[in-house]
Structure 1
Amino acid sequence: MIYVGLTGWGDHPDVYSPGSKKTERLIDYSAHFPIVELDSSFYAVQPERNITKWINETPEGFQFVVKAYQGMTGHQRGENPFESREAMFEAFRLSVRPMKKAGKLAMVLLQFPPWFDCQKSNVEAIREIISHLGEFDLAVEFRHQSWYSPELREKTFEFLRENRLIHTVCDEPQAGDGSVPLVPVATRDDKVLMRLHGRNLHGWTNPGGGQKWREVRYLYDYNKEELAEISKAAETLQQSAENVYIIFNNNSGGHAAGDAKEFQEMNGLEFTGLSDKQLDLFDGGL
């Protein structure tokens, strides 16, 4: 089965019902898509009240891809708010467990920074994370090209398979060491993750400073030919993994929802068990 969703639910105006409140955005979102990437967990370990609210607002079969807290994956800038590394992992485990218990946790996404290259110390860093979060299904997203180099690529996949890690297949601009190729390989037979970042090469390599760099980096609208390429990759993945989770992350210009809907239509995907709220904008397809 192929599942399609977006990064977050708070910044996709095309899927909100007319007049709906800010607090109802997840309900609106879950009327259109069966999965979502929870990215607020990257910036702060979420309190139980938030997790419980999101569980209750979504249909029974809805699934969350929870992005791991930045302090775990080498992104932390400034002081870590936790007194120890163990305390950080324990807080994250307590935060995510209710979602797993409710049957709504697809996986925890470990996205590593672009400077996290393929070397022994970084392999050991992944092992250390597994020792803390092994109770969850873990997806790994590499952002340094060395993991996919001809001499290391098969060893990378072997390592992921041996540790029951889900390979995250990425579509993104090809911009040297700090980007990875689209490699449609699943390392588990039950789940694989695709994250679609767009193909804005200029924005990827020259995002600029300040708080708006993400708006530049992920500003992209996929065309039909590109969505057809992604569809072919998804079909390849489906041959070796039972469930393919696809997340559109190209939302700087509000394109993610429309591209996801177009991808859905191109592949004849229909999702049941969504929330009752519907939006007229997408009725009849795109």
Structure 2
Amino acid sequence: MIAIGLAGWGDHDELYQTGVRAQEKLKAYSKYFSVVEVDSSYYAIHKASLYQKWVEDTSSHFSFLIKAYQGMTGHTRQHYSDAETEEMFRNFIESIQPVIEASKLKAVLFQYPPWFDCNRENVKLLRAAKERMGNIPVALEFRHQSWFSAEMEDKTISYMAEEGWIHSICDEPQVFPGSVPTILKPTNKNLTIVRFHGRNHSGWTSNGATNWREVRYLYRYNKDELLEWREHLLGLEKETNEVCVIFNNNSGGDAASNALQLMNLLGLEQKELPSPPQQMDMFD
């Protein structure tokens, strides 16, 4: 099974009829895709009531890939005591309970920062995070190439499989060392995640610019690139029960179109986008 969705549901104007309110967009989104990545959970630990609303706004077949809070992955660069870390994880887990209870959780995505390199201390942090999450399915995405160097690739994949991490495979610019190569190796028999970040090399390293978030994911995949990924996904599907694909190339409004294009190439059922509003002729 291959499920395709987008990162977030608010930035994809082509999915919505004119006048759709922000609080109605998830319902509209779910008509086109069966999974969505919740990115806002990275910036704040939401109230459980918000997740409950999202659960109620979606059908029984819909699921959420929820991004771990930034304090849980070290992005804040703050030092937390063991007690503070335990409380942070506990609050996050409590917040997503409505999604878990509704059987709509795909996984919690732990995306670690570019400076999180391959060393013993960081392996300890990974092990501690996995232990704190208990039986909740968790996916792991690196941003430092050292985890997949020639001497470490097989060890990293084996470690993820042994510890129960779901592999989040990336398609992203190859900019050393703050990106990872595309490693087409599942680590969990139930689920493999693939995230499309685009291939904007210059934008990937523009962190110093005020608009770096807008530039970083500015990329539109062409048909040949998607056809190549079609073969990759069909290969992954043979090795894992489900492949969850997330398009994160949102900056230029390309994610939804690329996702629907890939669905078409895979022969997956899809719904036509709403027609653009017609311009009125003043002489009609």
Give the TM-score of the pair, scaled to structure 1: 0.92
Contact 2:5-2:245 at 8 Å conserved across structures: yes
Give the equivalent residue in structure 1 for 2:242: 243
Secondary structure in structure 1 of the residue aligned to 2:121: helix
- Give the alignment of 1:19-168 within 5 angstroms: 19-76=19-76, 84-168=84-168
Matching residue's letter, 1:252: S
Pairwise CA distance, 1:279: 4.3
Q: Distance in 2 between matches of 1:28 and 1:89?
A: 31
- The alignment of Structure 1 onto Structure 2 pairs a total of residues equal to 275
Residue 227 (str. 1) matches residue 226 (str. 2):
yes
Q: Distance in 2 between matches of 1:115 and 1:44?
A: 21
> Which digits, 9 at most, give the CA deviation of each residue in 1:113-147, with x for residues without a partner?
01111111000000110121122100000111111
Residue 191 (str. 1) matches residue 191 (str. 2):
yes
**What percentage of residue pairs aligned between the two structures are identical?**
45
Q: Distance in 2 between matches of 1:238 and 1:200?
A: 27
Contact 1:231-1:267 at 8 Å conserved across structures: yes
Give the equivalent residue in structure 1 for 2:282: none
Contact 2:4-2:34 at 8 Å conserved across structures: yes
Pairwise CA distance, 1:76: 1.1
Give the equivalent residue in structure 2 for 1:263: 262
Residues 281 and 159 (structure 1 numbering): CA distance in 2 closer, same or farther, change over 3 Å?
A: farther
Pairwise CA distance, 1:208: 3.6
Matching residue's letter, 2:130: I
Secondary structure in structure 2 of the residue aligned to 1:232: helix
Matching residue's letter, 1:189: K
Q: Distance in 1 between matches of 2:70 and 2:17?
A: 33
Over the aligned positions, Cα root-mean-square deviation in angstroms equals: 1.8
Q: Distance in 2 between matches of 1:200 and 1:124?
A: 33
Q: Distance in 1 between matches of 2:99 and 2:134?
A: 15
Contact 1:34-1:62 at 8 Å conserved across structures: yes
> Which digits, 9 at most, give the CA deviation of each residue in 1:20-49, with x for residues without a partner?
111101011001000000011000001011
Pairwise CA distance, 1:77: 5.1
Q: Distance in 2 between matches of 1:138 and 1:23?
A: 28
Q: Distance in 2 between matches of 1:116 and 1:79?
A: 15
Secondary structure in structure 2 of the residue aligned to 1:177: coil
Matching residue's letter, 1:141: E
Q: Show structure 2 runs of 5+ residues with no match.
A: 277-284
Give the equivalent residue in structure 2 for 1:280: 274
Q: Distance in 2 between matches of 1:32 and 1:4?
A: 10
Q: Distance in 1 between matches of 2:71 and 2:172?
A: 24
Q: Which moved more, 1:187-196 or 1:229-238?
A: 229-238
Contact 2:14-2:274 at 8 Å conserved across structures: no
Stretches (4+) displaced over 4 A: 77-80
Q: Distance in 1 between matches of 2:9 and 2:20?
A: 13
Give the equivalent residue in structure 2 for 1:252: 251
Contact 2:41-2:68 at 8 Å conserved across structures: yes
Secondary structure in structure 1 of the residue aligned to 2:199: coil
Q: Distance in 1 between matches of 2:87 and 2:186?
A: 32
Give the TM-score of the pair, scaled to structure 2: 0.93
Give the equivalent residue in structure 1 for 2:217: 218
Pairwise CA distance, 1:233: 1.5
Secondary structure in structure 2 of the residue aligned to 1:188: coil
Contact 1:207-1:216 at 8 Å conserved across structures: no
- Greater Rg over alpha carbons, structure: 2
Secondary structure in structure 1 of the residue aligned to 2:260: helix
Pairwise CA distance, 1:206: 2.7
Q: Distance in 2 between matches of 1:71 and 1:129?
A: 11
Pairwise CA distance, 1:79: 8.8
Q: Distance in 2 between matches of 1:231 and 1:184?
A: 13
Pairwise CA distance, 1:235: 1.3
